[in-house]
Amino acid sequence: MSINDKLSGDVQAKLDKLRAYIKSLGSLAVGFSGGVDSSLLMVVAHDVLGDKAIAVTCTAVFVPDRELREAHDFCAERGIRQLTCKVDPLSKENVRHNPPDRCYHCKNMIFSEIKRIAAENGIEYVAEGSNMDDLGDYRPGLRAVEELEITSPLRQAELTKDDIRQISRALGLPTWSKPSYACLASRFVYGEDITVEKLQMVDKAEEFLIERGFVNERVRIHGNLARIEVPAEEIDKLAATDMRKELTSRFKEIGFTYVTLDLQGYQMGSMNAVLDKSITGSGKEK
């Protein structure tokens, strides 16, 4: 069965549009995180442009090591050329102090570096992986994308998150069912300084949850308090006596003084609840 037989006519048309757009660019460096969106974009770009498509992955304290390993393995298994660069967002006060537009300043640093690497390697265009659903969210990072003239092929092709998962599944990509992850900085309440120590605390706490089967999860940090979000249907599992005792012990070992469970369940962008609606529009950041 060909991929055409696995997709609806509408989704196939969007995929064709994506291929045509990428082909028109001639060469492309994809800001590659290994997530659902950038993985599909990278695979299609590599299929269309061959060696004229490269993956550029920025390593930073905001990105868990497990995500970097998965991104490396994904490229290695498919013969995709991957370059890495190291950035230090915490060197910028307007990132470290975590204002509402933190993501703008961070993305500006990251994509400026990716543009430099692309130019050094004779690649004309740089792409990022946002999709149509991201336009309804509070995403200050998209302002940096626009200012730096980074292209957004998935949005050019009018692909939604559901479209991307469908195509990824049809192509046999392991990322088709991967949960949506966001950088660790999104776990901090606005105005609270982001530190390496606290980032490591969040990373260790979330890894604990993932290892115990809580895949869609967030550990939000409020000073020395951890606020855990899991899907509403998994709250009972998390609150079961044995799990609760093990979790509380591990989180305190990590460095949290208080451990709480958000009874509303996992909510994308829950940290944005404190922001004025004139800033966030209708939506969520992460």
**What's the DSSP call for residue 90?**
G
At 276 the three-state DSSP class reads coil
CA atoms of 111 and 116, how far apart (whole Å)? 8
Phi, psi of 231 (to 5 degrees): -55, 145
SS3 172: coil
Instruction: Quote the CA–CA distance of 101 and 105 in Å, as a whole number.
Output: 7
**Cβ pair 110, 83 in contact under 8 A:** no
Burial of 142 (0-12, 13-18, 19+ CB in 10 A): buried
- Beta strand pairing status for 53-59 and 82-86? parallel
Q: Within 13 Å, how many C-alpha atoms sit on residue 148's CB side?
A: 25
Identity at 100, one-letter amino acid code:
P
Using alpha carbons, select from 273, 263, 269, 262 the residue that is nearest to residue 285: 269
Closest CA to 190 of 272, 110, 79, 247: 272
Residue 263: exposure state from Cβ atoms within 10 A (0-12, 13-18, ≥19): exposed
**Measured between alpha carbons, how far is residue 209 from residues 183, 206, 214, 234, 261 in Å?**
17, 5, 5, 12, 13
Known catalytic residues?
A: 183
